[in-house]
Amino acid sequence: MSSLAVTAQVTDDQMRRYAKMIYDVAGIEISLAKKQLLSNRIRRRLKESGIADFEQYYNFLKKLPISHAEWDGFLQEVTTHETYLFRDDSNWKWLRGTFLPEFQKNGKSSLRVWSAACSTGDEAYSIATCIADGVRNLSATRIQIVGTDIGVGAVQEANDAKFNERAMRLVPDDLKRRYFSQMGGASIWEPNAKLRAMTKFRQHNLLDRLAESPFDLVFLKNVLIYFNTDSKKRVMRNVEQVMKPGSYLVAGAAEGISDLMDGFERIHPWLYLRK
């Protein structure tokens, strides 16, 4: 067990090495000024893993493949997972009021959506809810919503699909009634079988190409804010390659990608059309 004093911090050199390792693995840029914060986060992993100090833990992680459970635990500590259904009203107004009616009008028989960096799946199930509600001939339409996240634990939670009241608080009442049910009267909500059938989740690092056929719609929100320009560029190249011409990208308003969008037409600060 760790015998570190509560105040112990990583040294400047360790901070630099940890920050580089996190950047190399996940593209996330950690400010060197956040020594105390990072130390506190790592300390929780030391306790969990029984490793004695920051140096040993660094050497331990360095040798592990990113698919190892300890990497997942570490990344959970250094990334933000905040998410909830129907986050950012304008996105859902556009999806329900513009995108889905257009899709319907064009008479297309399949729709593929990627919820990239989906955390616990809240965004993917919001998309599924809007599609279930907005596509008239649902059974004759091939719908697939692929949710991905670097965190194995997050992907597991997305597959479990259990949402508390806080996560559900912005789901419009009529949609909540029609597409979710409460488990045993408790304050945990589950999506119905229709929504589940449309969604699948898998682990994926945005720094890598996603081996999937192209999408009609991609959501990429609240993740690139933690990346620097080089890793944003790398992610955007990967994202662009799996988008069909004429497909849409819904981005977070603060993602900081507007200068990297040569292959796109900007419709709103958060919405891009792939040329």
Ligand X SMILES: C[S@@+](CC[C@H](N)C(=O)[O-])C[C@H]1O[C@@H](n2cnc3c(N)ncnc32)[C@H](O)[C@@H]1O
Distance of closest approach, residue 167 Cβ to ligand X, in angstroms:
10
Contacts of 8 (CB under 8 A, 6+ apart): 39, 43, 54
Distance of closest approach, residue 117 Cβ to ligand X, in angstroms:
3
- End-to-end alpha carbon distance in the chain: 56
Residue 9 or 199: the one with the smaller Cβ distance to ligand X is: 199
3-state SS track over the chain: CCCCCCCCCCCHHHHHHHHHHHHHHHCECCCCCCHHHHHHHHHHHHHHHCCCCHHHHHHHHHHCCCCCHHHHHHHHHHCCCCCCCCCCHHHHHHHHHHHHHHHHHCCCCEEEEEEECCCCCHHHHHHHHHHHHHCCCHHHCEEEEEEEECCHHHHHHHHHCCEEHHHHCCCCHHHHHHHEEEHHHCCEEEECHHHHHHEEEEECCCCCCCCCCCEEEEEECCCHHHECHHHHHHHHHHHHHCEEEEEEEEECCCCCCHHHCCCEEEEECCEEEEC
Distance of closest approach, residue 131 Cβ to ligand X, in angstroms:
17
**Residues of the shown chain interacting with ligand X in the complex, contacts defined by CB under 6 A:** 26-28, 79-83, 87, 117-119, 123, 149-151, 154, 205-207, 221-223
Distance of closest approach, residue 252 Cβ to ligand X, in angstroms:
6
Residue 46 or 223: the one with the smaller Cβ distance to ligand X is: 223
Residue 72 or 216: the one with the smaller Cβ distance to ligand X is: 72
Residue 9 or 270: the one with the smaller Cβ distance to ligand X is: 270
Distance of closest approach, residue 164 Cβ to ligand X, in angstroms:
15
Distance of closest approach, residue 175 Cβ to ligand X, in angstroms:
17
Residue 132 or 210: the one with the smaller Cβ distance to ligand X is: 210
Residue 10 or 28: the one with the smaller Cβ distance to ligand X is: 28
Distance of closest approach, residue 121 Cβ to ligand X, in angstroms:
9
Residue 9 or 91: the one with the smaller Cβ distance to ligand X is: 91
